[in-house]
Structure 1
């Protein structure tokens, strides 16, 4: 790495660290059990069985594709967080492939005790896979069918996984009354060979691959609400600027980034606006602009760095961001025109706000006991905006940062740095069911797609 690049990296670390040697006031903890995100509403979970699908062809691909489908479907339904899944070891050793082959009493009886059963058949012919999927009410012998779907595509593992995602989302929507997230993507930064490129993976960590091949350092990917483009900040010959990757054209497209050090882009939920941080005047401030790069408008004007803006996706009328105007970084919210500024955190070191799609919560990284000799650690928290009550989701399990919400407001993806490096994790929005998604290299700054 040349000296100029190292100098820029040092400056970047300083810029994002908000002068780490400052002191702070500690915050007293309170209220840890008030959170209601849709994962802990007190309702009994539907007990759901997912039968292994019945193979209906002798094609050599059938077995591998069936295994991929069965595994993906079961994991998708488990990850939803709204079902009590029947373990495969407790399910009847049956593979009903059609409604005529389903014996509901075998599934509703112990040890399965299933309320609902997902089942079906998979076959391959002439290079195409056909999958028939059903959802039955195990307690309704007279009219049990809730769902019946047929899917067909070119026969390969990736397509079969996508079909499983679609079928799982259908089940989640029908039984949970909410859109599923199984077809969503996660965009993130991955470090390979000294460079940092923008990557994408399925919501469950599978099918990971790079989008960019710029040979430099790119950060903070943010996908547009219509999944057409990914905005991110990237280091070029003129410093840090906003760049744009088209998911429709599968290539970089031009974008008129403002001058100065320009970082941390964020889309409004209608896709018409971007918010970002730019040091056009020498001090990093929050700006907004149209999604085509026109109409640049300065929103903040206060000494100290202002970075990491994010819109209230429910209304697009407010922006949360991080400001160092009082010393250590804190989370603030304001109207989209800069009025009605409110400080949300009142101590420690708070960064990386993410606004829940339902507009109710902020997720952020917070070291509440930051300072020399303090026993604190950086964890993920969520805060109810109306009351400013917060709860801690991760607990002393490494340095956690950059939370991002799933479009159903019920899951959060984040990065965790520990002795094994930096990887991406996911969890339910109440902090339970934490799972590691990435394992190779260094992976950070995840952003969950809107749909």
Structure 2
């Protein structure tokens, strides 16, 4: 098998190389580097008509709160927007709901962003059910300037849940690898790609980042000791420790749902097989016993099953094995080449990369209960799918106009958003869990 940093050519980066220069705490990029330009295509099968007013006094804050809320909801593809700014509404207003019903609006959002003398902001909003003529009560957040983007995502989550019945996932983070010239950075950003910060900067490729279930740590692969090892790094402080540094290759870490264990690919005994280890590096237990390459493992949300990629049948396919050990069962049967499994947090879906008839690699979605599969993308070079914490969107890497970019797609494939960064190639995205609520 040829050495490469491509996930496809190495069954998930199993033999890919990187050289770690230093671990670091998060540090922000310049404004020009950090900003994503979100491009959205397609709409959902049904859209909720939502009127949104610019928040009163938000021009006095460093973040356009209402615009962030709109962009979040827009990416879901489930909302059709009407601009209510001309009415100069805020959370204290009594809107003319009959007028908005006449405009076919289902809901109305308005609020305010008030700067306080101590440097904090009082953010308030009100959501009206236009059809029922009911208000949902004023919500307020007393926060610092650095929390404005996060509170905007929280508000978008609350609106999303009120109007769809499903949890939102805008108040979450993504991690990915950014390459600019010869420099590679492990990045952490808001779910919309904004506020990007570097958790790690090195001169060689980075592969296989994975979020801990609590969102506080990232596992990845490095050459910290001169060979491939698995490292766990605290995102906030930058402190790290090597947890897998065995003879041979150590790669492809994935967290157990309780955050106490990792499943990794090791070649310490024979070939490349799956092992379960404690997060502190002890308690090593071999999980698979094959003469093939077993790699790219991921846990089911309930912790009972581990899905992985193996070429034991001659070509890469996805299998599953009980987390306690046992016989492996093949999961994918459609297509000759399937890798990079990701299981949705609700346990209903598996996304993966499959080769299609024209030789391209596209994001696929399988309903686990039925085994039904559909192709979600029309690009050729897709990699690394990862579910949002509410299981409603998938982030993945692909190539567009000669560059490596990140995109999200809805589960029906109708709505896609491209999140490009100028002068950077983006790889290996992984969507983290929901962040703790603001107080």
Normalised by the shorter chain, which TM-score bucket? 0.7 to 0.9
Q: Distance in 2 between matches of 1:324 and 1:365?
A: 15
Distance 1:100 1:258, change over 3 A: same
After superposition, what is the alpha-carbon deviation per residue over 1:193-228, rounded to whole angstroms, capped at 9, x for unaligned? 424331111111111121013444321111111112
Moved more, 385-394 or 145-154: 145-154
Measure the CA separation in 2 of the matches of 1:15 and 1:427: 20
Q: Distance in 2 between matches of 1:79 and 1:16?
A: 28
Question: What residue is the counterpart of 1:149 in the other structure?
Answer: 139
Q: Is the 8 A contact 1:360 1:385 kept in 2?
A: yes
Q: Which residue of 2 aligns with 1:68?
A: 64
**Equivalent residue, structure 2, for 1:256:** 243
Question: 1:114 corresponds to which residue?
Answer: 105
Q: Quick one: distance in 2 between partners of 1:106 and 1:14?
A: 56
**Aligned CA distance change for structure 1 residues 281 and 349 (closer, same or farther; 3 Å):** same
Task: Show the counterpart of 2:307.
Answer: 320
The structure whose RCO (Cα within 8 Å, separation 6+) is larger is 2
Q: Is the 8 A contact 1:18 1:324 kept in 2?
A: no
Counterpart residue number, 2:375: 392
Q: CA separation in 2, counterparts of 1:175 and 1:199?
A: 32
TM-score (norm 1): 0.83
Q: CA deviation at 1:344?
A: 1.9
Q: TM-score, normalised by structure 2?
A: 0.85
RMSD (Å), alpha carbons: 2.4
How many angstroms apart in 2 are the aligned matches of 1:245 and 1:438? 26
5+ long unaligned stretches in structure 1? 1-8, 20-38, 56-61, 370-374
Q: 1:372 — aligned with what? A: none
The reply on whether 1:443 has 2:431 as its aligned counterpart is no
Compare CA radii of gyration and give the structure with the larger one.
Answer: 1
Matched, 1:334 2:321: yes
- Quote the residue 1:417 is aligned against: 399
CA distance in 1 between counterparts of 2:10 and 2:186 reads 25
Q: CA–CA distance in 2 between the matches of 1:377 and 1:87?
A: 39
May I ask how many residue pairs the two structures share in their alignment?
A: 399
In structure 2, the residue matched to 1:29 is none
In the alignment, which residue of structure 2 is the partner of 1:85?
80
> Which of the residues 135, 138, 142 maps onto 2:127?
135
> Within 1, Cα distance between the matches of 2:327 and 2:292?
18
Displacement, 1:67? 6.6
Structure 2 gap ranges (5+): 12-42, 435-439
CA distance in 1: counterparts of 2:62 and 2:229, whole angstroms: 46
Bigger CA drift: 45-54 or 350-359?
A: 45-54
Distance 1:106 1:54, change over 3 A: farther
Q: CA offset at residue 18 of structure 1?
A: 5.1
Distance 1:266 1:322 in 2: 13
**Change beyond 3 A, Cα 1:195–1:282:** farther
C-alpha displacement of 1:162: 1.6
How many angstroms apart in 1 are the aligned matches of 2:60 and 2:313?
Answer: 58
**1:11 shift after superposition:** 2.6
Match for residue 376 of structure 1?
359
